[in-house]
Structure 1
Amino acid sequence: MRDDLTFAERVHRELREVRWPEPAEIRARARRRSRRTAVAAAIAVLAVVSGSAVAVGDRDGAVVPLASWAERRLSQPEPEPSGQAEIPQEALLEPADVGVRSNVRLGDTGLGEQVQVDPLLEICADGRGLSGQRTVSRYSRSQSLLQKDTHGQTWSSGGLVLTQDVYRLAPGASARFFTGLDRIVTACAGWTEVGPRPWGRGIVTASVAHTWRAVERDFAGDEAVLLRHALSQPVDVATGKPLDVRFPSESRMVVRVGDLVTVIVPASELGVDGPNIVGSTSDAKLLELGRSAARRLCVAANPSC
């Protein structure tokens, strides 16, 4: 019996000396394994399909055998940047920062998510051949602030207050992000979308002109922009006549602090008939909200504020 206790005590003592990896380290190892698996799978597929040697272009423009390229990728895994990794909840806006009552918060986290400013802007970027400007984050955290109805049981039609996404970018990518965003906004200053739209009791093919412009810049954090998206009155392509419908402008803020970038979209700008923190106030309210977001990001940014 004493021998059993001695063995248990020894195991217990040795376990205390074991260094358990942090969650970020575990995820980093998983990403590296995923990359190795993907490369190995690609090699196997190409070998079966072609049955011959395949070459790919290296970064410096030289053509090297695929096997050499794969071996180099597997032997040189991407280093994990130093500093904070995962994004804590404290880095996001609090309901008290918004100025509109919110009693429900929904959130999510992610890895390797694409930084999304505006889905329509991305469609335009693809059409302009700028899909390569998209940025993929290391870590992300998102939230939606909502408001329950007066009964506290069901969602009111205007239950959404705002959405916020926070992305942690790789070293160097955060400094280049706004340059790429400006390039896309400039290219999409006059983009016309043509497609089917419900009208009356049927469907018509209508054209709508989209315009994005920077209303304010550098009002918070290291970099910031308040984007305004305007849509023209749609026109029936078949008849050339405008349709009797108009769309409100849409606003969203993009703020950067260190390696963190946040995208904030007020609910009214999502087409939700609810609390309107834009229509009931001036843009000054949005700019102050952006400054509050920058202060929140400071707790998790690399380098810290």
Structure 2
Amino acid sequence: MRDDDLSFVELVHRDLQSVRWAESSELRARARRRSRQRVMAAAVAVLVLSGVSVTLVNRPGGAGMVTANGGRAGASSSGVPAEALLSKSDLPVPVDVEIGESGARESVRVDPLLDACARDHGLSVTPVVSRYSRSRSLVRHLEIDGRLNNVQSVLTQDLYRVNADEADRILADLDRSVSSCPWWRQPTQLDDQSGATAIEYGWQVVARDFAGDRALLLRRVTSPNNSPVVSTRGEEPAAVLFVVRVGDLVAVGGTPNAGVVRPVIDEPQLTDDQLRELARTVAGRMCADADRRC
């Protein structure tokens, strides 16, 4: 082997050592999320005009199963109480369809964009892996030009059961990421392919400890015009979500563009005060099934 060939091999070896390889749990989580998105999209397309509830149940080693019913699934199959999640009757705005899913070994995700910003600022982001999880999205029919051919997500929610010694880390890591990411600029391609621009995101904790053992109300604002984040009010709807912990249960919920579900139309329907009240409702229900009673 020639000296220049050896140098090339050494360079490749050195570069490979610096590559971050995804953990097996992360790869499984990505596959589950992609499967979830496909099944949920199909469920909405088929059932959006029927007004029924949809439940997606993950089974180990198998694909998701779609069932439609008018009642709630019990907590025994997933280790997370379905009754703790908000339903149509809990919301102060109209909801037509409920879409739900249960699973296990899911990473606790609050805002993927915030995770990306934290990594970009040099922070180590290692999501807590839940023991069990359950999700529910509440959507409504949206009439455009006299036709019910679109849906709008009103509220998305995830409920996780985690190891008790890791529950506090979820909110501590969230605080740390927000402190490092008052604003973040991300390059993006324009829809018409005419060029590239940058979108600015900013995060603020707007309320604390209003429910459960610990709670946060997190706001993410978006600016598409390279303008400072502080001046983006009214330009793009803000994503607002709550994170509530009761014992070994952690709930994440909020307005649609918070990153949990991608609806056709992203326009939040709930105010900050309404989200805080909904979080208190969830926390009260979590008390009955957490590892300690409230």
The reply to whether TM is greater than 0.5 is yes
Deviation at 1:246, TM superposition (A): 3.4
| Contact residue 110 and residue 139 of structure 1 kept, 8 A | yes
Residue pair 2:239, 2:256 contacting (<8 A) in 1 also: no
Residue number among 265, 283, 286 corresponding to 2:254 in the alignment: 265
Q: Deviations over 1:231-269 (max 9, x none)?
A: 224249xxxxxxxx9322211111111111111122376
In structure 2, the partner of 1:277 is 269
Instruction: Determine if the alignment matches structure 1 residue 142 to structure 2 residue 131.
Output: no
SS in 1 for 2:164: coil
Matches within 5 A, 1:1-305: 86-148=79-141, 156-198=149-191, 201-235=192-226, 246-267=235-256, 273=265, 276-278=268-270, 282-305=271-294
Cα deviation 1:98-137 (Å, max 9, x = unaligned):
1123232211111111111112112112222334342111
Q: Which has the larger radius of gyration?
A: 1
Q: For each residue in 1:16-51, what CA deviation from the matched residue of structure 2 results, as whole angstroms up to 9, or x when unmatched?
A: xxxxxxxxxxxxxxxxxx99xxxxxxxxxxxxxxxx
| 1:140 CA displacement | 0.4
Secondary structure of the residue aligned to 2:113 is helix
Match of 1:27 in 2: none
TM-score when scaled to structure 1? Answer: 0.61
For residue 107 of structure 1, what is the amino acid of its counterpart?
G
The 2-side partners of 1:149 and 1:193 are apart by: 31
Give distance in 2, aligned partners of 1:156 and 1:90.
30
CA distance in 2, matches of 1:233, 1:275: 16
Counting matched residue pairs gives 208
User: What's the Cα RMSD here?
Assistant: 2.9
Q: Retained in 1: the 8 A contact 2:151–2:265? A: yes
**C-alpha distance in structure 2 between counterparts of 1:161 and 1:169, whole Å:** 26
In structure 2, give the amino acid aligned to 1:204. G
Q: SS of the counterpart of 1:304?
A: coil
Distance (whole Å) between structure 2 residues aligned to residue 179 and residue 303 of structure 1: 21
State the AA in 2 paired with 1:207: A
> Any unmatched runs of 5+ in structure 2?
1-23, 26-76, 228-233
CA contact (8 A) 2:78 2:102 kept: no
Percent of aligned pairs with the same amino acid: 38
**2:78–2:104: 8 Å Cα contact kept in structure 1?**
no
Structure 1 pair 249–266 and aligned structure 2 pair: CA distance change class (3 A): closer
Rounded Cα–Cα distance in structure 2 between residues aligned with 1:193 and 1:149:
31
Q: Distance in 2 between matches of 1:147 and 1:122?
A: 29
Deviation at 1:271, TM superposition (A): 6.5
Q: Deviations over 1:35-91 (max 9, x none)?
A: 9xxxxxxxxxxxxxxxxxxxxxxxxxxxxxxxxxxxxxxxxxxxxxxxx98002112
| 1:121-160: CA deviation from partner (whole Å, max 9, x where unpaired) | 121122223343421111100011123468xxx9652442
